């Protein structure tokens, strides 16, 4: 019996320390916030006479198909000095098949572009919440008034998964160039002009027939 008491007394400090471990958060703002990662993929295409060299457009199409290019991806051309304007139009035609437009914002790549080459860069962003789900803290023995270690994981993870353009989580988007006041007020205007449902009299009851 004495042996069991000694073992229990030795294990008690370890249990107390274990109860204090885990994510600590004594505020109301979640420590689990969305993180946006950006990755850039580049393909160098040979040019000839200001146009893409024969067969390069097919190589570009196959590369983009393998990349599963789609909405949210940014595609730009890195061509110092605009030495091949015809190649730009050819690349834009391939990109248009995916319902996308060429971006004027070209990211910086590691290696310089060689003469006689244009570089197509696909920038892709992904948003996620690292460390979720987080059940590192035992809320049943919470004596320090810490928020649950998993607090905010569901909301922020869903926000990161549903946002169409992950970069908007970083710097937002300027609504001035995409919002038409006449269009946004159309629904309100229709609602105000529509006659009330009871203005034309009551309808005969048809229940039970």
CATH number of the domain at 77, please.
Answer: 3.30.1330.60
Q: Is residue 42 part of a domain?
A: yes
Residue 8 is predicted with a pLDDT of 46
**What are the pLDDT tens digits along the chain (209 aa)?**
545 444 444 444 444 444 457 888 888 889 999 999 989 999 999 999 989 999 999 999 999 999 999 888 999 999 888 889 999 999 999 999 998 889 888 888 888 898 999 999 999 999 999 999 999 887 777 777 888 889 999 999 999 999 888 888 888 777 665 566 776 787 788 888 888 776 666 666 666 65
Give the domain extent around 80. Answer: 37-125
Q: Is residue 82 part of a domain?
A: yes
Residue 3 is predicted with a pLDDT of 53
Where does the chain show beta strands of DSSP type E? 35-48, 51-52, 74-78, 117-128
The answer to whether 137 and 116 are in contact (CB under 8 A) is no
Domain count, the chain: 1
The answer to whether 131 and 7 are in contact (CB under 8 A) is no
The answer to whether 74 and 103 are in contact (CB under 8 A) is yes
Q: Is residue 105 part of a domain?
A: yes
Q: Is residue 46 part of a domain?
A: yes
* Residue-wise DSSP of 149-161: TTTTHHHHHHHHH
Q: Is residue 118 part of a domain?
A: yes
* Secondary structure class of 125 (helix, strand, coil): strand
Residue 203 is predicted with a pLDDT of 61
The pair of three-digit structure tokens given for residue 189, joined into one six-digit string: 């205007």
Q: Is residue 147 part of a domain?
A: no
Q: Is residue 146 part of a domain?
A: no
């Amino acid at each position: 019996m004495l042996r069991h008491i000694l073992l229990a007394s030795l294990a008690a400090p370890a249990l107390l320390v274990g109860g204090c471990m885990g994510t600590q958060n004594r505020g109301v703002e979640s420590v689990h916030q969305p993180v946006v990662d950006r990755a850039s993929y580049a393909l160098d295409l040979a040019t000839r006479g200001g146009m893409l060299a024969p067969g390069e457009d097919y190589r570009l199409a196959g590369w983009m198909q393998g990349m599963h290019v789609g909405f949210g991806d940014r595609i730009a051309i890195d061509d110092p000095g605009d030495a091949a304007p015809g190649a730009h139009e050819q690349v834009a035609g391939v990109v248009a098949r995916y319902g996308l437009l060429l971006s004027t914002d070209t990211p910086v790549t590691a290696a310089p572009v060689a003469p006689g080459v244009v570089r197509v860069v696909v920038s892709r962003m992904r948003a996620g919440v690292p460390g979720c789900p987080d059940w590192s803290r035992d809320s049943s023995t919470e004596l320090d008034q810490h928020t649950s270690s998993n607090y905010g994981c569901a909301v922020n993870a869903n926000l990161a998964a549903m946002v169409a353009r992950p970069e908007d989580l970083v710097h937002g988007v300027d609504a001035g160039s995409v919002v038409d006041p006449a269009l946004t007020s159309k629904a309100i205007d229709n609602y105000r002009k529509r006659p009330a449902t009871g203005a034309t009299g009551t309808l005969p009851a048809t229940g039970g027939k």
